[in-house]
């Protein structure tokens, strides 16, 4: 049999989950069993390899996604361990954008939690095949089949158990592999590095037979070849089951579910086997799509070294003051010392060094090819979401969407010496994190930073003090509002002036009307090219977009407005880009004022898990915060309360919730939409 090519043996996977489901512990075990780490790192001791930032080690959470490479059997697995905390959703989003598969970790006690739903839907958005690992089977109250039931209720893809847990009383003692029909038992003395395969215990034989039958039936529904075999009534081999399972997983029809306890070192090797057996290699995924910047036509790049280069910069990170850019190479090759073309910025860039990452350690390599995740030193202009390609075959890959910040706080340097450091440090941090925004407010003469939540900003301030040695004072957090309109209007703007010896003319007519909540701004140009030639359309759009940055009520950004450019005038020799830009800006501002503008505030979806006896207090508190209860679901001893609450009413909520529930309730929140104040 011919040896498999490197690209077929490559797996690019992410480990994603709700906060505290045990993602990082799973990653640490994977590194240990694949021989990448010589000792087990524990999150609760601040010793995990993947959590290398001091802020991560102190808080016991993951903040940035760490990339690492390991070998299992004959496959090369690139792993990204992602954060579970909602404030760092961008890290998950940009990781899923470049991955081919994901391992979603669930807690066997809590089941499907709010943030695990978010990451699952993010993976669906990018069409990423998944396998699920039900972790913490050693905990009291662990219920594997309840987690499967919750997955069926919440997700569209079919969860398919390929293992079932064996419990001796309350103790988790191993798993039964439904495909091979054998039980796996881990050896505690070798820290789970060795396991033995034994016969299924008598009391489990019937359950295992029924579950295997269900597995085959489900696959027969999803896979034609399997259906034929199943209906024919002949014997079905383990290999045929694996093949059907792989096809159904890659085509997003099903999600194989495994179980174990990462902390007790049980169940990790089968997860690695499942990654190799069921998740796609770069060759199994559809070719990546992009646009040719010159012709504006769609281009595709297959995952092959022979195709022209196409790579996406999915993360920028500062490392000892130097800019490290993480790339996913979709096609072609990159060589250390070579040149690449950044089609998003229309600039050439030089690759100084090429590195394979192992969390924050690194290994120099000379070349990297299609399907790999690598880091690069030397790219000066490239930022997150940019495409690098071959200049002779330019392509711009689909842009990544970034979330808009919802919370901001004023920040100032303590001394003049810190002032210079602060500007430089913030420039570097915004390069690294697209969800962090920095703005200087003229009215209050304050520097304002905006982000995804209180924890996000707290960590930014902590990094300013530690990494950049900058002493700062921080104001109280403030909500980022928006402005919109409530009625339709028609407005016109004219600019006719001499600027520096040259006449500038522009005349633009607009229609404005309110869009639906959450639709964002939409500009359509329907003007006849005889009235305004096409070459001025871009300037008109630019003028409108600039005017939208600050509304007419209190200078907040404008959202949910639909604009149609319907008319205007053209004067041979006088009409200019500048003229149309200023005219369009003025037309928008006048129209906005006349269209009954209002201020909007961010509304968050809050998900609270509380012990049953405090449900009444929690609901009462939400109502007092102008909240709107969406649902209350009792789940045994706890209740899940879902509500929509204005962000302004949620400052300090974690402290209030703790004191109202004796520290026993937990909550997570995610931005929903903007609504009238």
Q: What is the pLDDT of residue 70?
A: 80
What gap in Å lies between CA 560 and CA 515, rounded to an integer?
Answer: 5
Structure tokens at 10: 């490559």
Residue ranges in the chain modelled with pLDDT below 50: 1-2, 37-53, 56-65, 84, 86
- Can you give the pLDDT at residue 88? 57
565 SS3 class: strand
- What's the rounded Cα separation, in Å, for the pair 536 and 52? 51
**What's the pLDDT at 63?**
40
* 79 CB-contact burial (10 Å; exposed 0-12 / middle 13-18 / buried 19+): buried
CA atoms of 570 and 581, how far apart (whole Å) = 13
Between the alpha carbon of residue 620 and those of residues 222, 450, 627, 648, the distances in Å are 47, 30, 10, 17
Cα–Cα distance for residue pair 79/278, rounded to 1 Å: 16
> How confident is the model at residue 163, as a pLDDT?
94
CA separation for the pair 263, 409 (Å, rounded): 39
CB atoms inside a 10 Å sphere around CB 502: 11
Q: What is the pTM of this model?
A: 0.69
- Which helix (H) or strand (E) segment holds residue 470: the answer is none
CA distances in angstroms from 566 to 49, 174, 180, 531, 543, listed in the order given: 59, 69, 68, 10, 15
Can you give the pLDDT at residue 578? 93
Question: Could you give phi then psi for residue 370, rounded to 5 degrees?
Answer: -45, 140
* Rounded distance between C-alpha atoms, residue 661 and residue 651, angstroms: 17
């Amino acid at each position: 049999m011919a040896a498999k090519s490197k690209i077929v043996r490559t797996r690019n996977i992410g480990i994603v989950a709700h906060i505290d489901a045990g993602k990082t512990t799973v990653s640490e075990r994977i590194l240990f069993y694949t021989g990448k780490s010589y000792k087990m790192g524990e999150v609760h001791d601040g010793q995990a390899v993947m959590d290398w930032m001091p802020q991560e080690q102190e808080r016991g959470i993951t903040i940035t996604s760490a990339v690492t490479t390991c070998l299992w059997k004959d496959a090369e697995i690139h792993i990204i361990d992602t954060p579970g905390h909602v404030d760092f959703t961008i890290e998950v989003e940009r990781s899923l954008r470049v991955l081919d598969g994901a391992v979603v970790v669930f807690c066997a006690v809590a089941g499907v939690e709010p943030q695990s739903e978010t990451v699952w839907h993010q993976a669906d958005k990018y069409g990423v095949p998944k396998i699920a690992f039900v972790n913490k089977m050693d905990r009291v109250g662990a219920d594997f089949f309840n987690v499967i039931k919750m997955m069926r209720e919440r997700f569209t893809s079919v969860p398919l158990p390929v293992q079932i847990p064996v419990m001796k009383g309350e103790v988790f003692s191993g798993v039964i592999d439904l495909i091979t029909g054998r039980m796996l038992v881990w050896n505690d003395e070798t820290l789970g590095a060795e396991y033995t395969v034994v016969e299924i215990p008598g009391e489990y034989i019937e359950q295992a037979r029924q579950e295997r039958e269900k597995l085959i039936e489900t696959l027969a529904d999803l896979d034609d070849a399997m259906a034929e075999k199943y209906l024919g009534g002949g014997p079905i081999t383990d290999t045929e089951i694996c093949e059907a399972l792989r096809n159904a997983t890659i085509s997003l029809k099903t999600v194989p579910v495994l179980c174990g306890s990462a902390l007790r070192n049980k169940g990790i090797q089968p997860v690695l086997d499942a990654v190799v057996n069921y998740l796609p290699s770069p060759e199994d995924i559809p070719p990546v799509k992009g646009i040719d910047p010159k012709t504006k036509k769609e281009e595709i790049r297959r995952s092959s070294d022979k195709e022209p280069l196409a790579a996406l910069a999915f993360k920028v990170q500062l490392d000892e003051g130097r800019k490290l850019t993480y790339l996913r190479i979709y096609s072609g090759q990159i060589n250390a010392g070579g040149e690449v073309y950044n089609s998003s910025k229309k600039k050439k860039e030089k690759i100084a060094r090429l590195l394979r990452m192992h969390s924050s350690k690194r290994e120099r390599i000379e070349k990297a090819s299609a399907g790999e995740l690598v880091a690069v030193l030397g790219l000066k202009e490239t930022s997150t979401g940019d495409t690098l390609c071959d200049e002779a075959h330019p392509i711009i890959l689909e842009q990544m969407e970034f979330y808009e910040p919802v919370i901001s706080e004023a920040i100032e340097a303590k001394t003049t010496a810190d002032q210079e450091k602060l500007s430089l440090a913030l420039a570097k941090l915004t390069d690294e994190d697209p969800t962090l925004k920095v703005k200087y407010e003229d009215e209050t003469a304050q520097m304002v930073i905006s982000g995804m939540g209180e924890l996000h900003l707290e960590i930014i301030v902590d990094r300013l003090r530690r990494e950049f040695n900058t002493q700062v004072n921080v104001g109280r957090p403030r909500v980022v509002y928006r402005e919109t309109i409530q009625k339709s209007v028609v407005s016109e703007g004219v600019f006719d002036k001499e600027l520096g010896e040259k006449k500038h003319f522009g005349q633009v007519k607009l229609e404005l009307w309110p869009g639906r909540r959450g639709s964002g701004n939409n500009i359509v140009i329907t003007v006849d090219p005889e009235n305004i030639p096409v070459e001025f359309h871009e300037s008109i759009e630019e003028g409108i977009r600039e005017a939208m940055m600050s509304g007419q009520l209190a200078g907040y950004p404008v959202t949910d407005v639909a604009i149609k450019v319907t008319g205007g005038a053209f004067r041979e020799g006088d009409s200019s880009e500048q003229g149309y830009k200023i005219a369009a800006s003025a037309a928008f501002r006048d129209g906005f004022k006349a269209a009954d503008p209002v201020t909007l505030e961010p509304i968050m979806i809050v998900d609270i898990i509380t012990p049953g006896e405090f449900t009444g207090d929690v609901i009462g508190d939400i109502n007092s915060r102008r909240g709107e209860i969406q649902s209350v679901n009792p789940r045994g001893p706890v209740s899940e309360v879902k509500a929509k609450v204005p962000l302004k009413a949620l400052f300090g909520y974690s402290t209030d919730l703790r004191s109202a529930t004796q520290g026993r309730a937990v909550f997570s929140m995610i931005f929903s939409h903007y609504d009238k104040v």
